[in-house]
Amino acid sequence: MGNCMCQEAGVLIFPCSGGSDVGELSDRVARKMAKCGQARMFCLAGIGAHIQGMIESAKSANKIIAIDGCQILCSKKILEHAGFNPISFNLKEMGFEKGKTQITEEIIEKAADKISGGKSEEAISGNSGGCCGN
Amino acid sequence: MKIEILGVGCSKCKQLTANAEAAVKELNIQAEIGKVTDIDKITEYGVMMTPALAVDDTVVSAGKVLSKDEIKKILSK
């Protein structure tokens, strides 16, 4: 039963993972938060493709977080189209400008801290574990 | 009608199977209830959380143990 997939979904995180620097940042931040146990990363593409199994899986989440790199808010909008009401984070509003953001560990940490210190405190409450700090 | 329970066989999967069987019985419908326990096949459905329920190859629920009444509602649509 080592491969059992019936653990609680908890908090699911959907970065836009777009082609720009801030898109990459959204992805790296989401992976960091997942690695730290703050949320579980999920496939935005699967939701956009209307893969019914993925949509139904996402419905079992306690909370859904969208991280977008810019104001177009693709992740938030894809999730809304699928009927979800995500807690939305826009990296631009946090000071990360498209085309001007270098992707370094320091920047990833900074963005993750901004999310963790903002609405995500509410978003991740009830989920086990905090940031691992690395 | 084809009903499939997707999951590797833990207690939640067994409960969902029992609830599906009870729902079929109460509705008095013809349905074939099968189990999909192979992880690769489960993920082919896009299911990331089990147990999941598929009706005629469409996933209608994942990550939840639906009650008999919830399954009856789905099957009655």
Q: What CATH number does the domain containing B57 carry?
A: 3.40.30.10
Distances (CA, A) of A55 to A27, A43, A65, A69, B45: 20, 10, 14, 23, 11
Looking at the domain assignment, is residue B70 inside a domain? no
Predicted confidence (pLDDT) at residue A104 exceeds the cutoff of 70: yes
pLDDT value of position A119:
53
- Summarised one tens digit per residue, pLDDT across range A53-95 is 999 999 999 999 999 999 999 999 999 999 999 999 999 999 9
- Among the partner-chain residues B10, B12, B52, the one whose CB lies closest to the CB of A56 is B52
Contacts of residue A5 in chain B, CB cutoff 8 Å? Answer: 7-8, 39, 42, 47-50
Query: By the CB < 8 Å criterion, does B16 face chain A?
Result: no
Considering CB atoms only, which of A8, A43, A57 is closest to B62?
A57
Mean pLDDT confidence for A23-37 = 95
DSSP secondary structure letters along A41-104 = E--HHHHHTT-HHHHHHHHT-SEEEEEESSTT-HHHHHHHHTT---EEEEGGGGT--TTS----
Q: Does B1 touch chain A (CB under 8 A)?
A: no
Report residue A1's pLDDT band, with 50, 70 and 90 as the boundaries. very low
Mean pLDDT, chain A, integer: 88
Domain count for chain B: 1
pLDDT above 70 for B11: yes
What is the Cα–Cα distance from A7 to A9, expressed in whole angstroms? 6
**pTM confidence score:** 0.84
Q: Residue A134: pLDDT above 60?
A: no
Q: Are B67 and B73 in contact (CB under 8 A)?
A: no
A19 neighbors A98 (Cβ within 8 angstroms):
no
**Could you say which residues from 97 to 126 on chain A have a Cβ atom under 8 Å away from some Cβ of chain B?**
none
Flag whether the ipTM exceeds 0.95: no
pLDDT tens digits for B19-65?
Answer: 999 999 999 999 999 999 999 999 999 999 999 999 999 999 999 99
User: What is the residue range of B25's domain?
Assistant: 2-65
Please check whether residue A59 is in contact with residue A42, taking contact to mean a CB–CB distance below 8 angstroms: no
Alpha-carbon span A51 to A45, nearest angstrom? 9
